[in-house]
Amino acid sequence: MPMTAPDYSWHFTPGNTFSYEEGPTGVLSVADGGELWLPTGRVVACDPFVYLGGGDTAPFTAEVAPGRYRVEVAVATLTQPEEEPEEQSAATPHRRVAAARLVVSDDAPTVSWELALKDGQDPAALGEGEFYGYGVDAGTGCFYDLAADGAFPDCEGDEGPLWEAFEGAGHAAGAYRVEGEGGHSLVAFSSGWGDGAYPTWVGRDAEGAITCFVTDFFVVPTPEETAA
């Protein structure tokens, strides 16, 4: 059976806590990533330092109405079992982006989740615990509109506005909105523990309308990984 999704509204509820079977505990907060313009409503998620502007990153098949939508990230502040949160250095708390959410609608609660797919991807072909997702090789993920793929010619490697946004914030866990050409924008964020492959999920309300897209960076443990 392919991977199934938890209810990601839990990840985006400030103050929720979790713990690993061995190791740190985490407290969740939500950071605002600003507004993302989707002129076509075709959503792309990828590692922007690697794939942005290449022209070969396909959008998800699930589309939304063109418009402006907010992006937010669930940030986990991690504390070792013997360490109280207030004992951490205020300058360098241990934080990780647990998930990133593109909010399409708040009108109704999300009641179901499905993998965000690209053309040619079939969930029936997935094996036990498998998922479709995007690869991260530079520790970063993002959301943007398909039409914006060529709007960031200066965002390559360790230079340009995308790098400057992360560098200016000391690469702290959070969300970074970057302006491109033609009024386009993207919102980027660090990817949990770093490089790997991560699924994006489509949330839907009881009527089947899309409420959000959520990329899970596997920071919040599954029930099997959680301490009893």
Q: State residue 140's pLDDT score.
A: 94
Which DSSP state fits 60? Answer: P
User: Rounded mean pLDDT of 123-146?
Assistant: 95
pLDDT single digits (tens) 59-99: 999 999 999 999 999 999 998 776 665 555 554 578 999 99
pLDDT single digits (tens) 9-42: 999 999 999 998 877 889 999 999 999 999 999 9
pLDDT at 134 over 60: yes
Q: State residue 84's pLDDT score.
A: 60
At 157, the pLDDT band (50, 70, 90 cuts) reads: low
What lies within 8 Å, CB to CB, of 198 at 6+ separation is 133, 134, 136, 141, 191, 192, 215, 216, 217, 218
pLDDT at 126 over 50: yes
pLDDT at 228 over 50: no
- Reading the block at residue 56, the tokens are 């070969």
* Alpha-carbon dihedral angle through residues 97, 101, 106, 110, given to the nearest 10 degrees: -100
At 218, the pLDDT band (50, 70, 90 cuts) reads: very high
Which DSSP state fits 32? Answer: E
**Are the CB atoms for 27 and 14 separated by under 8 Å?**
no
pLDDT single digits (tens) 36-64: 999 999 999 999 999 888 888 899 999 99
Q: Say which range, 1-5, 19-23, 90-94, 180-184, has the weakest mean pLDDT.
A: 90-94
Whole-angstrom distance, CA of residue 94 vs CA of residue 105: 31
Q: Residue ranges of the domains in the chain?
A: 17-225
Share of the chain above pLDDT 70, in %: 91
HSE, CB side, 13 Å, CA atoms: give it for residue 173.
Answer: 26
Whole-angstrom distance, CA of residue 92 vs CA of residue 106: 33
**pTM attached to this predicted model:** 0.92
- Mean pLDDT for the chain overall: 90
Query: Measured between alpha carbons, how far is residue 160 from residues 9, 172, 187, 191 in Å?
Result: 34, 18, 15, 20
Q: State residue 54's pLDDT score.
A: 82
Q: Which of 139, 144, 123 is nearest to 198 (CA)?
A: 139
- Reading the block at residue 95, the tokens are 């934080």
